[in-house]
Structure 1
Amino acid sequence: MKFLLTSAGINNKSIHNALVDMLGKPIADSSALCIPTAMYGHPWVGPGVQTWKFISGNEESPMVDLGWKSVGVLELTALPSIDKSRWVPLVKETDVLLVAGGDALYLCHWMRQSGLADLLPSLRAVYVGMSAGSMVMAPKIGEFFHGWTPPSGSDETLGLVDFAIFPHLGHEMLPENTMAAAESWAAGMQGPAYAMDDQTAIKVIDGAVEVVSEGHWKLF
């Protein structure tokens, strides 16, 4: 599977071009499934109006509103209650998964509970994460980002990439997301760790990592 791990969506030309390159065809010819699940676990963004904004493409971070051929919703909390034959073929056929931000540990829990986590490595789709939707791919997220507490109490996530992510670096509405805070966070992580602002994304294809940025980032 190919990963495009963003801090705040497809919000500049460089990240947009990277997405089209990974798809191998125009966005207008590509089908998408959006996954809002992480939003429900975070008190700032869900449930309610922010979740609707993500699904409908009425938010500032471009994801759903890029001009896809079709867009569907894949709600992970519902999947354990329905037969896999109703959703697995849909996921296998889609061109891209658009995964919202919110709480990374909540998202990780439901990716595992739903069975999507087991399916991800075999998919042909491009996985596009935003904030927590990107962080969940790391081995762990770190205490700095620990919000919703999973049954295990651990900050471990899926580990489908071998680095951790500190998103929204220097964001004006997140004054705690400083470079100094990122350095402190990175010191507690095992393995590579990236801090990146909202103009930055990380592209991963077959394990090869490339930073795509029109902003600021740092590898620890």
Structure 2
Amino acid sequence: MKLLLTSAGISNTSIRNALVDLLGKPVSEASALFIPTAIYGIPNGGDIVRRVICGSLGDPFCDLGWKSLGLLELTALPSIKEELWVPILRETDALLVGGGDCQYLCYWMQKSGLTDLLPSVLRKTVYVGLSAGSMIMTRFGTSYRNHTLPAESDKSLGILDFALHPHLDHEWFPDNSLANLEKLAATIPVPSYAIDDQTAIKVTNNTIEVISEGNWKLFPPSIS
């Protein structure tokens, strides 16, 4: 299993090098599928999807110079025969999972059947998350509640046994100060990584490595 969990995308050379290492080839020789689903759970989601794909918003992600780039919209998959999308998923080198609403993304990953496929898919494919796309693989997720899903719907898949808090000290997210995230981490029964937009978590099987040209902090699990 190979994952690169970013806060904002491939924001610096160190994170890009980590991606290339996980892929085992240059980005220009790798295929990618982009999952935009989580973005539709936040205001103005449709336009944000367009800007992420075009590279006019945030750090490089879809616009890294992939050999090929496709879209995999999870909300459409339950109505499509698996033979139309599962082979493409299994053949791709990188699965790019965008940010937005964790709960909305988690629901559709489960509803579409992607969650069940991940263990076998990730034997070959590199999972590259951005914000919520990173958080849902851990033991912590959030929700904007701009949807009609049941309130008790899962906010994360819990595949990795730690929590992730992206956008540390970002001006767009005033609640994400180090002090506030430390208080939040004190309520979570697993270790928590707070990372800024110049930091990513690289996971190779059971090995966790912090890749950073910025700031980050590892908090211990809560004591209860």
What's the TM-score once normalised by structure 1's chain length? 0.94
Residue identity over aligned pairs, in percent, reads 59
Cα distance in 1 for partners of 2:139, 2:173 equals 24
Partner of 1:52: 50
Partner of 1:87: 85
Q: Is the 8 A contact 1:80 1:113 kept in 2?
A: yes
Q: CA deviation at 1:49?
A: 1.3
Cα distance in 2 for partners of 1:80, 1:197 equals 35
Amino acid at match of 1:12: N
Pair 1:71 & 2:77 matched: no
Partner of 2:215: 216
Q: Is the 8 A contact 2:7 2:198 kept in 1?
A: yes
Q: CA deviation at 1:184?
A: 1.1
Cα distance in 2 for partners of 1:73, 1:186 equals 34
Cα distance in 2 for partners of 1:177, 1:155 equals 22
Cα distance in 1 for partners of 2:60, 2:74 equals 21
Partner of 2:25: 25
Cα distance in 2 for partners of 1:94, 1:179 equals 37
Q: CA deviation at 1:152?
A: 5.3
**Post-superposition CA distance 1:176-211 (Å, at most 9, x none):** 110111011101111111101000000001121000
Amino acid at match of 1:177: N
Partner of 1:139: 139
Amino acid at match of 1:4: L
Cα distance in 1 for partners of 2:143, 2:27 equals 34
**Post-superposition CA distance 1:70-92 (Å, at most 9, x none):** 00000000000101111000000
Secondary structure of 1:137's counterpart equals coil
Q: CA deviation at 1:154?
A: 5.0
Q: CA deviation at 1:50?
A: 0.9
Q: Is the 8 A contact 1:55 1:73 kept in 2?
A: no
What's the TM-score once normalised by structure 2's chain length? 0.92
Partner of 1:9: 9
Q: Is the 8 A contact 1:33 1:94 kept in 2?
A: yes
Secondary structure of 2:20's counterpart equals helix
Match among 98, 109, 112 for residue 111 of structure 1: 109
Amino acid at match of 1:126: V
Partner of 2:126: 126
Cα distance in 2 for partners of 1:146, 1:89 equals 31
Secondary structure of 1:111's counterpart equals helix
Q: RMSD across aligned C-alpha pairs, in angstroms?
A: 1.3
Amino acid at match of 1:169: L
**Post-superposition CA distance 1:145-170 (Å, at most 9, x none):** 33227425255411111111111000
In the alignment of these two chains, the number of paired residues is: 215
Cα distance in 1 for partners of 2:88, 2:5 equals 22
Partner of 2:193: 194
Cα distance in 2 for partners of 1:156, 1:60 equals 24
